[in-house]
Structure 1
């Protein structure tokens, strides 16, 4: 569980979450978390991400080029691959891969939304693009009770998301469950932690959260049932990562 000191910080940042929705503007640095490359807080190696992953050959992650594959830690046994339809598209697909002795095995493909303007290899606060790269997944939280994840889980009223999205859809419930993407954030803390190792200008607050039916500021939104299933599957002992970006970038 996240300790009380982190809960105090969560309370302090609650107001920013109300304004940010999901990674955006000045409030972004207070919202959903971030982290860097698989083992650092710095720039992640852009990951060529598998598009239609479900029919992958068992031995290799499909759709990923050599640069992306090289960014996945050798000890990783779970990879959540988020593949955008295009560089400027807000639509993507999410597949969880499990590494076995026979190779990588794909789960079902799940529909998702990413940032309004698509993807970028150099994320900046307020650019309305999701960061491309390979990032570790170490922490979770939400407004509701722990759904049964093995990741450390911070339940807090600070995970509130009022207002409407870019298409007029209500944001309520978007942060019922979240998994922090370790882009420009300190791992091992609540997703509400404001620490930004790369500085506030590089954005942050990138989460996997409940889809509100439209584009995000920078996060990835999945249907609630799909997100809960994913959270229950993620296992810290398997060193999970998310590989995210548009298909062309991930395939380099």
Structure 2
């Protein structure tokens, strides 16, 4: 049978164990002092826009809606210490004439821009491949040719894909002929919105050069900003665009 003194000692030890601070299994210096870095956050807020980061994301484009179809466009680069620095900003960006809506609730033909974070994975435009090589555009690039369309035909298995009419498989009158937009599509970065091809959700959401007013659902920015984007975006840095309210 335990003595009263032993019982009291055990109780005191228990109290000390409960209140004493617990040292972490491995304390990591976020600035790399021990040769390691803290894990990257999965989401950050940049320029008033919430961004869901992909693994390895070091480049972000944000569109912060100001009023109507106007938005501030900012390009962000991740610093060596894990922070973010704005590299370019333009206050005359544009969104769709229908405003913004969550991507999974968007309907084709509504002129709405999908909210949220989308990967930037390829480009196209009116310049030739030789120009792209000289300019150092790193994302995959495709020059617009006669007969090129972005398929918006809900019956087609090529829905929400780039395709030339000579290859068939879609109804051209339901789709977007790319040569019709020479100014806006001089420089285009493709968002991965609806890559899973959900019919009726919308096709052809891009970051492109500003037109005269609102877009039909894309996001756009001044020509000088798109020219910068084509040079700056790097697939090795897993770039994304985030659209806010």
**Which TM-score applies when normalising by structure 2?**
0.62
Decide which structure has greater strand share: 2
Residue 153 in 1 paired to residue 141 in 2? Answer: yes
Question: Residue 161 of structure 1 contacts residue 174 of structure 1 at CA under 8 Å; is this kept in 2?
Answer: no
Uncovered stretches (5+) of structure 1, i.e. residues with no partner: 1-47, 51-60, 163-170, 186-196, 247-252
Say whether 1:92 aligns with 2:71. yes
Q: Residue 56 of structure 2 contacts residue 238 of structure 2 at CA under 8 Å; is this kept in 1?
A: yes
Q: Distance in 1 between matches of 2:112 and 2:78?
A: 29
User: In structure 1, what is the equivalent of residue 206 of structure 2?
Assistant: 207
Check conservation: 2:120, 2:240, Cα contact below 8 A.
Answer: yes
CA–CA distance in structure 2, aligned partners of residues 160 and 124 of structure 1: 21
Please say if 1:116 is aligned against 2:126.
no
Task: From the superposition, tell whether residues 177 and 198 of structure 1 become closer, same or farther in structure 2 (CA, over 3 Å).
Answer: same
Q: Name the residue aligned to 1:240.
A: 239
CA distance in 2, matches of 1:84, 1:62: 11
The answer to whether 1:127 aligns with 2:137 is no
Deviations 1:127-180 (CA, angstroms, capped at 9, x unpaired): 111000101111001122235310000012236353xxxxxxxx5421111000
The 1:174–1:161 alpha-carbon spacing in structure 2 relative to 1, beyond 3 Å, is farther
Larger relative contact order (Cα-Cα within 8 Å, sequence gap ≥ 6): 1
Q: Distance between the aligned counterparts of 1:217 and 1:245, measured in 2?
A: 17
**Residue in 2 that maps onto 1:63:** 48
Following TM superposition, by how much is the alpha carbon of 1:233 offset from its aligned partner in structure 2, in angstroms?
A: 0.5
Alpha-carbon distance in structure 1 between the residues aligned to 2:237 and 2:88: 19
Q: CA RMSD in A?
A: 2.0
Aligned to 2:221: 222
The residue matched to 2:230 in structure 1 has which SS? helix
1:209 Cα offset (Å)? 0.9
Paired with 1:125 and 1:135, the residues of 2 have a C-alpha distance of 18
Q: Which residue in 2 is equivalent to 1:16?
A: none
Q: How many residues align?
A: 164
Partner residue, 2:84: 104
Write the distance in 1 (CA, Å) between the matches of 2:231 and 2:101: 29
- List gaps (5 residues or longer) in structure 2: 1-42, 149-176
Cα distance change on mapping 1:75 and 1:183 into 2, 3 Å: same
Is 1:179 the counterpart of 2:189? The answer is yes
Provide the residue aligned with 2:119 in structure 1.
136
The answer as to whether partners of 1:49 and 1:82 remain within 8 angstroms in 2 is: no
